[in-house]
Structure 1
Amino acid sequence: MADFRRLNETVLAAPQIAPGDIVAARKAGVTLIVNNRPDGESPDQPDGDRIEAAAREAGLDYRAIPIGAAGFSQPQVDAMAEALAAAEGKTLAFCRSGTRSTLLWALAEAKTGRDPEAIAREAAGAGYDVGPVRPAMDMLAGRASD
């Protein structure tokens, strides 16, 4: 079973999930699955189409916002912010380790004007470090970097 880590009251991050993890996500109150892992990144990962089919079969929404080797872009941040705003329950975002999902969540939260320090504390509580995107978070939140 996947390791769902609570970022805040409405968002969970996880390493790679499998179609069989969808039932546990639903039981945890998840209504939206966000896939931040590009298909084909690793030969052992399930295709996004399989996870999407399992999510939809369980009555969950699904969005793919892949983050590849090129890193984060503004359209990805915008798409994540829109997905989070539209979710009617909890969101489960996943990638290989959960880190890219957490970093994208942090950027999307900063875009809404949330305090980057609070976002960083929430991520740290789940075992993730947002340091790599902290300058971008500060910029998105309208704050100067230290």
Structure 2
Amino acid sequence: MADIRTINDRISVAPQIAPDDLAAIRAAGFVAIVNNRPDEEEAGQPSGEAIRAAAEAQGLAYTAIPVTHAGFSHPQLDAMAAALVAADGPVLAYCRSGTRSCNLWALAAAKAGRDPEVLVQQARAAGYDLGGLRPTLDALAAAHPAADEAPPQA
């Protein structure tokens, strides 16, 4: 199974998963999968459709929010936040290495008003460095109208 790294009790990230991993992912307590990897990014990777079918066969929700070399957009941040809010339990997001998934989660959480320092610490504890995103995290959090009232894990 993939190298799953827990960010907090609502979100974990991993490198590319395979359809055969979904039973173990469900058994580990996840209720939803977020695919942050575009199809055909690399030869031989499982398609998003194959992962979706395997996830749904295990009773897991599936959301595709592919992040390309073009970077992150507000609609992607909003889609990630919506997927986390819709899930009734832990979510596993994946991409090629887990980095894009971690970054997208952090950006979405900052946009929802979460404290960027907490986000950086949670990512660091999972082995990811958000240092390059810190100015954007700060700006997104500052732009949130009720930053102090944000949901704890948005």
Q: Same fold (TM over 0.5)?
A: yes
Give the match for residue 142 of structure 2: 142
Structure 2 counterpart of 1:33, one-letter code: I
Q: Please give the secondary structure, in 1, of the residue aligned with 2:32.
A: strand
Structure 2 counterpart of 1:57, one-letter code: A
Q: Please give the secondary structure, in 1, of the residue aligned with 2:92.
A: strand
Q: Percent identity?
A: 59
Alpha-carbon distance in 2 for matches of 1:63, 1:117: 27
Following TM superposition, where does structure 1 have runs of at least 4 consecutive aligned residues deviating by more than 4 angstroms? none
Structure 2 counterpart of 1:72, one-letter code: F
Alpha-carbon distance in 2 for matches of 1:35, 1:132: 23
Give the match for residue 46 of structure 1: 46
Alpha-carbon distance in 1 for matches of 2:86, 2:124: 25
- Structure 1 residues not aligned, in runs of 5+: none
1:77 aligns to 2:77 (yes or no) = yes
Give the match for residue 34 of structure 1: 34
Give the match for residue 66 of structure 1: 66
Structure 1 counterpart of 2:78, one-letter code: D
Alpha-carbon distance in 1 for matches of 2:50, 2:109: 28
1:10 aligns to 2:5 (yes or no) = no
Aligned residues: 143
Alpha-carbon distance in 2 for matches of 1:111, 1:29: 27
Q: Please give the secondary structure, in 2, of the residue aligned with 1:44.
A: coil
Alpha-carbon distance in 2 for matches of 1:55, 1:118: 30
- Structure 2 residues not aligned, in runs of 5+: 144-154
Q: Please give the secondary structure, in 2, of the residue aligned with 1:141.
A: helix
Alpha-carbon distance in 2 for matches of 1:5, 1:136: 23
Provide the TM-score with structure 1 as the length reference: 0.95
Give the match for residue 149 of structure 2: none
